[in-house]
Structure formats: structure tokens, C-alpha cells
Amino acid sequence: MRSPFPSFLNHNKILLFKICIILFINCATYRTNLCFTKCFGEPTGDPPIQSSSKLLSSLETISLDGHFSFKNNQAEAKDFGKRYHMLPLAVLHPHSVRDISITLKHIFQMGSGTELTVAARGHGHSLQGQAQALRGVVINMESLKEPAMQVHSGNLPWVDVPGGELWINILHETLKHGLTPKSWTDYLHLSVGGTLSNAGISGQAFRHGPQISNVHQLEIVTGKGEVVTCSAQQNADLFYSVLGGLGQFGIITRARISLESAPKMVKWIRTLYSDFAIFSKDQEHLISTKYSFDYIEGFVLINRTGILNNWRSSFDPKDPVQASQFVSDRTTLYCLEMAMYFNSEETETMNKRIEKLLSQLRYIPATLFQSEVPYVEFLDRVHISEKKLREKGLWEVPHPWMNLMIPRSKILDFAAEVFDKILSDSTSGPILIYPVNKSKWNNKTSVVTPDEEIFYLVGFLFSALPTSTGKQSLEYILAQNQIILDYCVRDLPGCTQYLPHYSSQDEWQAHFGSKWRVLMERKSAYDPLSILAPGQRIFQKATPVQHLVSKTNHKTSILEEENAKMI
């Protein structure tokens, strides 16, 4: 038998050579200001990681207008997804922006030796622990109410709101002035800071863009504890960083939202298609038409029975006889959902516009259903469903939701594979699908979208019962989601996740693509110690060792890039 020592020595020679190369790179680039160095923070010596008791004592020294809670913080360790439960060390209940600023400044000054991280939590509707901070500090943004909402009327109306305010409250306040925000999410019981940190998309996005395209100004507390007012004209880089920035660059403590005149009523219409190609073509036609509906969405119905009968409680069929003869058993159908806003004096004009638009579509005639509802009732429609689900104990369950953005050129292939094959059985929740116009999105923000003028949002909004063991179980739905994701990565280049979730930095780098370098530069500038939003799992809080490894890896990758250019 051969002695192991020669191979062992060879291995060590190789290892020693690699270490020499790494040291050479470090020396050669020591004076260079590289963004990843800042992203993970410069270590100040080699301090030991503080114990929980020392961290608690440190936080107790901070003078606040509000207060910390150090016990009974289980609620902040949960979210709407009901899958991740990370208990924080403390919860900050701020009464002022100063409370948030001084807390972040305190943690920043502790340096990279501390494990403390900070997550801003609005109404707790994150899906996968994004607003949680294991052994860190969670900021209860709903506690921040000062100063109160301020509505400005005029030619360019707006409303100033705290970052923890819910959109439903903004709606009620602005309606007192005859005004309303332009762009919404389907569910209004979400915080301003939460939706602006992602994008905020609903059926109005094809016309007005997402919510992040309708913001005039922000007040931000950075990862250094600095309070900064920013807009497209002032501190623009921070402004665009935070919009869609997943909480990585600062905490939104105040936002100035664009408003428009509010309607009183909504004409709400639903109709069905059996052919996806026709359905998608009609959707694209509507979002490209100048005088179209005010809201356009769609959803997929896989093996659902009695759909039209379910609609009858809220909608009237145009032809009751034809509707009663329609059968949907064992088929996949596609619902086109449209809405037009109006006031009572505009009823006749509105009906003519709708009639003209509907005449251009190729839906199944027997499935045309219409309803007239108040504007508030339409916008808050999901909350009505929430109440019913709560009564049945079906709201506080795991929600393994997945949201994708699919380029228009790939949507037919996507539908054929996912709706016809992968999801061949009835699903445990709605599937939303509707197109938007990329021209309504600002490419300077941190959001990643497909590189085509029209792309589709597809939302798999499934629920899992904890007692289920079959196709309604959490494990089955997660496995199904992964099959869909794998298909997109493998066969549909250009697709991306909305409300993204990844477990490794390589995956995040692939997600951000060409924006990755800009993302790191922004992280370097505004949160150099990676304190903020640890639940997103993009950047890990640095320790000196992690810092050195990360810095070395980044320098090596830059060297490889330069070599590739030379070749």
C-alpha cells in the first residue's frame, strides 16, 4: 500500500500556493475601494461576538420616545407565509423617526463584531421571513404614526404618509378630499413601506405602473442611522435604491404618494375563455388601447365546477339562459377581469365605452357577467374574502405563494407546460395572470423585470392546510412550485421572480443579473455593515472572517473578469 504522505504534501503545496495567490491579491488591491469590501463592513479589530445579555444591556441604554419590548415577541417571529419563525432579541415600538435613527446608529457604531441586525415590519404579510430578524431587532412600523397623514390638493395632488401606514387607511383619508392613489395592490391591508420595498402591483399597473412609479418623495433611515429625504431630484440614487430594494438600503419612514380624482363607482366585469392564446391576445390588446378599462387582470381556473353559479351572488349574467347552460367541468378556463371607474353622471358614456371595448374581444358569450359596486368596495374586495376565510379558520394557514414575471414571448410556452401539464388538477388557491407595460416601470429602481415591453405577472396564491397530507399539503405545493421554477430556469430564459426568495448569494446574483454590481455599490453606500433586512438572505451580517472571505472572493472574481476581457 502506498504511503499517504506524498499526496498529502502535494495537496498542501497546492493549498499553500492558493493562499499565496490570495495574499498577493489582497496586497495588490489593498488600496482599491471595492464595493463588496464596504458591503460587508470594515472590521475594527477582532472583537468577540457579544452575548445576548450584553446586547440587551446595550439596547437598554438608548433613550427613546417609544420603547423596546424584550419579552413576548412571538408575534414578530411570524408572518403571513406561516413557514418561518425567527424570534428577535427585541422589538422596537417607535413613536418617532428619531427612535429608528438612533437605534440604527447605535447598532452601526457597535461595528461588525455584533450580530445584531434590523428588520422593518409593517402588517406582517411577508411570505418567507423577509421581515424577521433572528436574534436581532424588529421595528414595529405600525407604531410610527407621527406626523399624521397630510393630503395636498391642487394640480398635482399628493399625500404624505408614515411608512407603516396601511393602504386601506390612506384610501379612506384621501377620499375625504375627493382624491385617491392611482396604483394599488389587490390587498389593501399592507403597509406603504412594505409594498414600496417590492413594487406594488395590481390591475392598474398597465396604465399607471406599479406603486413605486407613483412616489414623489421618500424619507429614509439608512443602515448607518442617517435620516435622508430623497426624490428623483434630491439624493436620487438612494431614492431609486429603496424603491423595490427589498429593504436593503434603508427603512422607509415617510412617503409622498401621487393622487388623482376619485370616482364613486366601478363597473366590474368578468368573462371566460377556453383558449389561452385568445385570452392572452385580448389582454394584450386591452392594455395597449388608449381608452381602455381602468383595471385589467386575469386568473386561471383549473378543473373548477360551478364557476358561474358562484359568481351569481355578486354578478349578473348578460344572458341568464345561456349562462345556465354553460358547463366548466374537467376543463381549464381563463377569466378576464375588467373594471371601469365612473361617477353617476357618466353612466351612459361609460356603458358605451364598455360596449365598444367588449365588442373587440373574443370571450365565450355565455360567460359575460357584470356588476356595479362602490369604488371602496371594489378596491377592498380581497378583505371581504379574508373575513370569510377567518370565520372558517382558513386564513391563519401556511401560504406557499409564488409570483413570477414572464416575458410576453414566453407566455404561451409557459401556459402550455404549467397550466396544461404541471397543474393538471384543481389547485388550492387562485392563480393570477395579467400583462403589464414595461414602459410604466422606471429601470433606475432596484426591481428586476423581464427585458420585453410587455410581460406577465403570474401569481400562484396557494394555501396549505396543516392537517393535509395529499395534494393540498405544504410539502406537495412547495415541490410543485419548485418544478415550475426549475422549468422556468431551464427552458424560459428571461423569467424572474417577483417577491423573490433565494437561499444563496449566487442565486441572488443571477436574479439581479446586470444590476448586481449597482446593487452592491448601493449596499456599500447605505448599509455597509449589512444590518438591514436580514430575512431577505441577500447579504449576511459580517464578522471579520466572513468579511475577509467575501472580500477575497470578490477580488478574485474581478481578476477573472479582467482576464476574460483580455482573452
Say which amino acid occupies 131.
A
CA distance 167 to 61: 35
Q: Are residues 240 and 315 in the same domain?
A: no
CA distance 92 to 141: 9
CA distance 144 to 133: 19
Query: Listing from the earlier edge strand, what are the strands of the sheet with 118-121?
Result: 67-69, 90-93, 137-140, 118-121
Between the CA of residue 351 and those of 318, 319, 345, 484, what are the distances in Å? 13, 17, 12, 41
Q: Are residues 356 and 407 in the same domain?
A: yes
C-alpha cell at 20: 499565496
In a domain, 464, yes or no: yes
Given a contact cutoff of 8 angstroms between Cβ atoms, the answer to whether 471 and 386 are in contact is: no
Q: Are residues 420 and 333 in the same domain?
A: yes
H/E element holding 455? Answer: strand 454-460
Domain encompassing residue 367: 265-497
Kindly provide the residue ranges of all beta strands, DSSP E only, lying in 318-444, ordered along the sequence: 332-342, 369-374, 402-407, 431-437
Q: Are residues 458 and 339 in the same domain?
A: yes
Could you list the active site residues?
A: 125, 186, 297
In a domain, 546, yes or no: no
In a domain, 20, yes or no: no
Q: Are residues 306 and 345 in the same domain?
A: yes
**What pLDDT is attached to residue 149?**
95
> Residue 334: exposed, middle, or buried by beta-carbon count in 10 A (0-12, 13-18, 19+)?
buried
Which residues lie closer than 8 Å to 75 by C-beta, 6 or more apart?
124
What single-letter DSSP state applies at residue 270? Answer: E
In a domain, 433, yes or no: yes
Q: Per-residue pLDDT tens, the chain, 567 aa: give them.
A: 333 333 333 444 444 444 344 333 343 333 333 333 333 333 333 344 467 889 999 999 999 999 999 999 999 999 999 999 999 999 999 999 999 999 999 999 999 888 899 999 999 999 999 999 999 999 999 999 888 899 999 899 999 999 999 999 999 999 999 999 999 999 999 999 999 999 999 999 999 999 999 999 999 999 999 999 999 999 999 999 999 999 999 999 999 999 999 999 999 999 999 999 999 999 999 999 999 999 999 999 998 888 898 898 899 999 999 988 888 777 899 999 999 999 999 999 999 999 999 999 999 999 999 999 999 999 999 999 999 999 988 899 999 999 999 999 999 999 999 999 999 787 789 999 999 999 999 999 999 999 999 999 999 999 998 888 888 899 999 999 999 999 999 999 999 999 999 989 999 999 999 999 999 999 999 999 999 999 999 998 753 323 333 443 443 343 333 333 322
Given a contact cutoff of 8 angstroms between Cβ atoms, the answer to whether 257 and 161 are in contact is: yes
CATH of the domain at 489: 3.40.462.10
Q: Are residues 313 and 436 in the same domain?
A: yes
Kindly provide the residue ranges of all beta strands, DSSP E only, lying in 223-352, ordered along the sequence: 227-231, 250-261, 265-273, 295-302, 316-317, 332-342
Alpha helices in 40-131 (DSSP H): 52-60, 97-109
Q: Are residues 254 and 292 in the same domain?
A: no
Q: Are residues 162 and 311 in the same domain?
A: no
H/E element holding 287? Answer: helix 276-288
Measured in degrees and rounded to the nearest 5, phi and psi for residue 86 equal -120, 110
In a domain, 125, yes or no: no
In a domain, 277, yes or no: yes
**What pLDDT is attached to residue 551?**
41
Q: Are residues 238 and 310 in the same domain?
A: no
> Residue 147: exposed, middle, or buried by beta-carbon count in 10 A (0-12, 13-18, 19+)?
exposed
Measured in degrees and rounded to the nearest 5, phi and psi for residue 144 equal -85, 100
Q: How many domains does the chain have?
A: 2
- Picking from 225, 241, 261, the residue at the C-terminal end of a domain is 261
Per DSSP, the residues of 159-218 read: EEEETT-BHHHHHHHHHTTTEEES---S---SBHHHHHTT----TTHHHH--GGGSEEEE
**What pLDDT is attached to residue 50?**
60
Given a contact cutoff of 8 angstroms between Cβ atoms, the answer to whether 56 and 375 are in contact is: no
Given a contact cutoff of 8 angstroms between Cβ atoms, the answer to whether 104 and 224 are in contact is: yes
- Picking from 203, 227, 261, the residue at the C-terminal end of a domain is 261
**What pLDDT is attached to residue 564?**
32
Q: Are residues 295 and 180 in the same domain?
A: no
The Cβ of residue 403 has, within 10 Å, a number of other Cβ atoms equal to 19
Please list, residue by residue across 241-251, b when 16 or more beta carbons sit within 10 angstroms of its beta carbon and e when fewer do.
bbbbbbbbbbb
CATH of the domain at 246: 3.30.465.10
Query: pTM for the whole thing?
Result: 0.86
Given a contact cutoff of 8 angstroms between Cβ atoms, the answer to whether 138 and 73 are in contact is: yes
Q: Are residues 172 and 305 in the same domain?
A: no
- Picking from 480, 497, 514, the residue at the C-terminal end of a domain is 497
H/E element holding 496? Answer: strand 496-498
C-alpha cell at 24: 498577493
- Ramachandran area for residue 429 (φ above 0: left; ψ -120 to 50: alpha; else beta): left
Q: What is the CA radius of gyration of the chain?
A: 26
Q: Are residues 199 and 344 in the same domain?
A: no
In a domain, 2, yes or no: no
Say which amino acid occupies 306.
G
Any long-range contacts for 52-56 (C-beta under 8 Å, 24+ apart)?
52/89, 52/135, 55/89, 55/114, 55/115, 55/116, 56/89, 56/90
CA angle 379, 380, 384 (to 5 degrees): 145
CA angle 523, 254, 64 (to 5 degrees): 85
In a domain, 254, yes or no: yes
